[in-house]
Amino acid sequence: MIRLTDIVLRRGIQVVLDHASLTLHPGDKVGLVGVNGAGKTSLFSLLLGRLHEDAGTLEKPANWRLATVAQDVPDTDATATDFVLQGDVALCAAQRALQAAMSAPEHDEAASHDLGEAQHAFELADGYTARARAEALLLGLGFSVAELHKPVRQFSGGWRMRLALAQALFAPSDCLLLDEPTNHLDLDALVWLEQWLSRYPGLLLIISHDREFLDAICRVTVHLDGGKLTRYGGNYTLFEEQRAEKIMQQQAAFARQQQDIARLTRFVERFRAKATKARQAQSRMKALERMERLAPVYLSGALRIELLAPLSLPQQLLTLHDGCCGYGDPPILKGVSRVVTGGLRLGILGANGQGKSTLVKTLAGVLPLLSGQRIEGKGLVIGYFAQQEVDVLRLDESPLQHMQRLARDMAPHTSEQEWRNWLGRYQFDGDMMLRACGSFSGGEKARLALALVIWRKPNLLLLDEPTNHLDLPTREALAMALQDFAGSVLLVSHDRALLRATCDAFWLVADGQVQDFDGSLDDYQQWALARTRQRQSAAQAKPQTQASVPEPELTSLDRKEARRQQAEQRQQRAQRLKPIKAEFDKVETEMRQLEADRTALEAALAQPGLPTAERVEHSRQHHALSERIALLEDRWLELGEQLEALQSV
């Protein structure tokens, strides 16, 4: 286990951890939460040995393997698959030893012994399945089969971060630390990553601002606030409920103490001068001096986003007719015919690289159509937030200078005080309003970009991944604002909580087409997982397909017989699948129920003042549930492998 005891950690003059203590157990799946700037990444650096505590003790097993995502990906000619394989240090060492032993003279007895040892080490490192496992990771994270053999230097920054994530997942580890792993993922890859992490057997620590991602994976939440670490049993939603109750209890206790202090003070002031009451007054004065004063509960002011009412609300905002979208020949999207009407709340789904951003840029008029028509409705005002919006801010200019330039183009009649008031709503106050943007964090830049977009009073909002750098409170403020917005919204996001709160319908961008998606977000997740499995199966079958000998042409009788045999094979496969699928569903249902029971027990154990007898009984039940869940997880994985093997036949 990892144990932090009375840890003090400073970064410059800032105290990140102030006598903080925490214990993490093997197998824990932990979400580390806190406002931006609280010190979550610094805590990761402490656990990884990149920073050292100023006081206190950090204990972790000496033989534990800690894995995390590399901060920089080298500009190398190694292929994507080879780069991922480099994450397993033991495998690489075994591979080098095997190559050296195989190049030694054949009749050398010592060399033969070395070869046997090297082969054994390579086998222990799962070397014979390593390449297939690495490719499966890359395909799950959204890489195509062709990109498996593409040099790392040819990938863009976002895709390089996916490579670094794949390398961290591939490395054998006892503890995995992931800092915002979803920032460069689309929804397809995010859903696949959730499933992979839910099966990870070691201690998992995740920093994320994605509520549904944390809820799906984490069974423990650690809150970093004011330099203290507080452990809560349960996922993020349960943490919020427990923390709200704890804050209410703290505030109630503070209020009661203030009443007691006022009552004692009044008694002392009234009777201190009276001889008959002097002893009692003295007693109460001592009680006041001994009293351990409770601090009031201070909550940081949450950002409130207000979307300004559009100046007009046309019914027909924007039309694409038989459009081809892209940057040249061949186009990325073909035959796009879409109508954006007033009041539309639409989510745009699809994997990265399929053309979501291309579609949004075309709708925004940033990217011209290759062919077809783009027709704007009368009174259309577009507010476009691009993925790279934070990158186009002028880093040498302040927020006030950005507002001044925007106002000159959009509303020259407005005053500097109005600009200051508007920036203040987005937490740019005082000196911060005059600081150069280059010193801002990613979240601060995103808030500024959002403020500039909203100030235009658009009636059509085109938002392409607006939450990438926003913390959870700001994401929730954006969701609430979009719910109240009178105009139309088209949203590209991997934040499912935002999509669920905002969108009434979906478009699917896939295979060069834009179509209506008739289903919910959960249906899309299942569709995306099935598509990923198909790609993985196709990649595994490709070598056999290439090596196969062409079949001779069949006669009509042969075709009829072949169809009959295929039908029989499908029926036999369905019969074999049925009992396995039934058991798989049964095991999955029991796992969910037991995990819910365990979460409830963890919540009960976290309650202060729980009687000892109840605590012992809850602990015993928790241990029994954990053992049962571990057995069920093993069986669930085994059945899942059987299903995949039969379905791929």
What 3 state SS string does 206-272 have?
EECCCHHHHHHHCCEEEEEECCEEEEEECCHHHHHHHHHHHHHHHHHHHHHHHHHHHHHHHHHHHHC
Tens-digit pLDDT profile for residues 199-229: 999 999 999 988 999 999 999 999 998 899 9
Q: 2-11 and 513-516: which strand pairing?
A: unpaired
Q: Is the pTM of this model over 0.75?
A: no
**One-letter identity of residue 482:** L
Q: Does an H or E element contain 128, and which?
A: helix 127-140
Per-residue model confidence as pLDDT tens digits over 40-62: 989 999 999 999 999 999 999 88
Which neighbouring-strand residues pair with 206? 31, 178
Q: How far apart are CA 134 and CA 176, in angstroms?
A: 17
Helix (H, G, I), strand (E, B) or coil at 67: strand
Average pLDDT, the chain: 83
- The C-alpha atoms of residue 163 and residue 69 are separated, in whole angstroms, by 9
What is the per-residue pLDDT across 576-621, written as a single tens digit (0 to 9) for each? 777 887 887 888 888 888 888 888 887 777 777 777 777 777 777 8
Distances (CA, A) of 645 to 105, 131, 200, 580, 638: 42, 19, 21, 12, 11
Distance CA 112, CA 589 (A): 52
pLDDT at 491: 94
Half-sphere exposure of 265 (CA within 13 A, CB side): 8
pLDDT at 543: 52
In the prediction, which pLDDT does 547 show? 34
